[in-house]
Chains A and B, each alone.
Chain A
Amino acid sequence: MDVIYSPDALIKTMDGERGDYMAATVKTQLGWDLPSGRTLLWGGEIAYSFNRPDETVVRMGTNDDKKAGGLGFQSNLSIQNLFEGHNLGFIVAILEPSLLTSSDYWNNILLFEIRHTVRFTGRLSAETRLRYRGDHQKLSGVDQKRWQIFPYARLTYRFR
Chain B
Amino acid sequence: MKIRSVISSYTGLCHSASLILILFINTPVLNAQIPLTDNDKLFLTGDIRTGYFGIIGENRDGSSADFHEIRNRSRIGIRYTPHQRVTLQVRYALRVNSRDFELKCSLLSYLQPGGMLTSLYSGITKMLRAIRTGVRLIWIIPIHHTHSSPISADHIMITL
A contact set with B: CB distance below 8 Å: 2, 4, 23, 25, 27-33, 41, 43, 45-47, 72, 74, 76, 78, 80, 87, 89, 91, 93, 95, 99-102, 104-105, 113, 115, 117, 119, 123, 125, 127, 134-135, 139, 142-160
Q: Is the CB of B12 within 8 A of A47?
A: yes
Known: A119-B27, A145-B60, A154-B51. A29 touches B32 (CB 8 A): no
Q: Is the CB of A72 within 8 A of B61?
A: no
Query: How far apart sit A126 and B138, CA to CA, in the bound complex (Å)?
Result: 29
Q: Chain A contacts of B27 at CB under 8 A?
A: 117, 119, 125, 127, 156
Query: How far apart sit A159 and B32, CA to CA, in the bound complex (Å)?
Result: 6
Q: Is the CB of B24 within 8 A of A101?
A: no
Q: Chain B contacts of A72 at CB under 8 A?
A: 13
Chain B contacts with A in 92-119, Cβ cutoff 8 A: none
- Nearest first, the 10 A-B pairs at minimum CB distance are A154-B51, A148-B57, A158-B32, A104-B17, A142-B60, A47-B13, A89-B24, A25-B12, A31-B4, A158-B47
Q: Is the CB of A144 within 8 A of B60?
A: yes
Query: How far apart sit A127 and B27, CA to CA, in the bound complex (Å)?
Result: 9
Q: Is the CB of B13 within 8 A of A117?
A: no
| Closest residue of A by beta carbon distance from B33 | A160
Residue B134 interfacial (CB < 8 Å): no
Chain B proximity of A151: nearest CB distance (Å)? 5
Residue B58 interfacial (CB < 8 Å): yes
Chain B contacts with A in 21-42, Cβ cutoff 8 A: 23-27, 31-34
Q: Chain A contacts of B3 at CB under 8 A?
A: 30-31
Q: Is the CB of B49 within 8 A of A142?
A: no
Q: Is the CB of A159 within 8 A of B20?
A: no
Query: How far apart sit A32 and B2, CA to CA, in the bound complex (Å)?
Result: 6
Residue B143 interfacial (CB < 8 Å): no
Q: Is the CB of A102 within 8 A of B23?
A: no
Q: Chain B contacts of A99 at CB under 8 A?
A: 13-14
Residue B55 interfacial (CB < 8 Å): yes
Chain A proximity of B126: nearest CB distance (Å)? 20
